Homo-oligomer: A and B are copies of this chain.
């Protein structure tokens, strides 16, 4: 039997609860597909800081690097806000693993599950059938640029500095991913930046334009200012197929789009590098307000596993099966965040039960 090395990083908040359901699904897959998962667990974020004084240890990082795929929960919580050194906050662990594994391509689907179209704050006709793929640059930009920090000013006072920095090579490799993805979908890419205000955005626009002309002229390309993109996502989200963004704009725009769908608790994401393992995690955060109550929705985490099966473990069939089971389970059981009249209201384990039953 094939053995896949899978690293699990449950993280903080609801992370451990939803990851428990991921493990149950993995056990089912082992039985059904005759594979074996060599599972390694580790800490990331605030829980790692509590245990080791650092949000991601070298040892955990080394095991992550040696795995075939990493499935993560989520990090952060108010108990660590401003309570640790800046380089030891929970998010620093996440940024470190992204950077060290060079996970430059963050794929974030913002799709509306038909069964949940009425859960959106938008009118049904604006979101039913919505299916946007964000291709967000994840290993560069203002998240990592130097110089950065808080400094004392000579005349008194302080200044906070961050640097947005993109090379042509960084832009081209993420744009390539967007064009390749578009070819497999609606064949349309919107590239969002603020070229009218930022030179880094101007370089972005120029390099995307060049790559498009040279290799992807069959794909429809539109440049859109990031502020206008934010507007258009609200006005008419279905006009989009693939949206290509840098790290920071992608953070805001993909979160807004995820919320538009009304299916936030359902959305997985993949972060891919250039060879090593991919990292798979829900789009939603650690939801400290409901952590430990057994009511969190595990679907985004389970669909993240499905993405791992498809993109890193070459098990597209198993991914299909998991996704189909999630759809089926939604016909009966629903966690609180997606509950509606006529459905059984279940907790985290109950939702896992329903998905396993459908499998």
Give residues in A with beta carbon < 8 Å to B: 76, 82, 86, 89, 91, 95, 121-123, 126, 142-143, 145, 148-150, 153, 157-169, 194, 196-205, 226-228, 230-236, 248-249, 251-253, 255-256, 258-260, 264, 285
What are 11 inter-chain pairs, A to B, with CB distance below 8 A? A91-B197, A95-B197, A142-B198, A150-B203, A159-B165, A159-B167, A160-B167, A164-B164, A227-B252, A231-B258, A234-B260
Please judge, given known A-B contacts A150-B199, A163-B163, A203-B150, whether A194 and B251 are in contact too, CB under 8 Å.
Answer: yes
Q: In the complex, A165 Cα to B159 Cα: how many Å?
A: 7
Known: A159-B167, A252-B253. 13 other contacts (CB 8 A): A121-B122, A143-B197, A150-B199, A150-B200, A157-B169, A158-B167, A159-B168, A160-B166, A162-B163, A162-B199, A163-B164, A227-B251, A230-B259
User: Is there contact, CB below 8 Å, between B259 and A199?
Assistant: no
User: Is there contact, CB below 8 Å, between A235 and B198?
Assistant: no
User: Is there contact, CB below 8 Å, between B255 and A256?
Assistant: no
By DSSP majority rule, is chain A's interface helix, strand, loop, or mixed?
helix
Contacts of A231 in B (CB 8 A): 255-256, 258-259, 264
Contacts of A252 in B (CB 8 A): 226-227, 230, 249, 252-253
Contacts of A232 in B (CB 8 A): 259
User: Is there contact, CB below 8 Å, between B230 and A159?
Assistant: no
User: Is there contact, CB below 8 Å, between A91 and B196?
Assistant: yes
Partner of A167, one of B153, B199, B205, B255: B153
**Closest CB of chain B to A112's CB: distance in Å?**
13
Contacts of A260 in B (CB 8 A): 234
Contacts of A285 in B (CB 8 A): 228
User: Is there contact, CB below 8 Å, between A160 and B200?
Assistant: yes
**Closest CB of chain B to A271's CB: distance in Å?**
15
Partner of A202, one of B150, B165, B199: B150
Q: In the complex, A234 Cα to B292 Cα: how many Å?
A: 27
Residue among A121, A161, A204, A285 with the highest chain B CB neighbour number at 10 A: A121
User: Is there contact, CB below 8 Å, between B121 and A76?
Assistant: no
Contacts of A126 in B (CB 8 A): 121
Please judge, given known A-B contacts A160-B203, A199-B86, A199-B149, whether A256 and B236 are in contact too, CB under 8 Å.
Answer: no
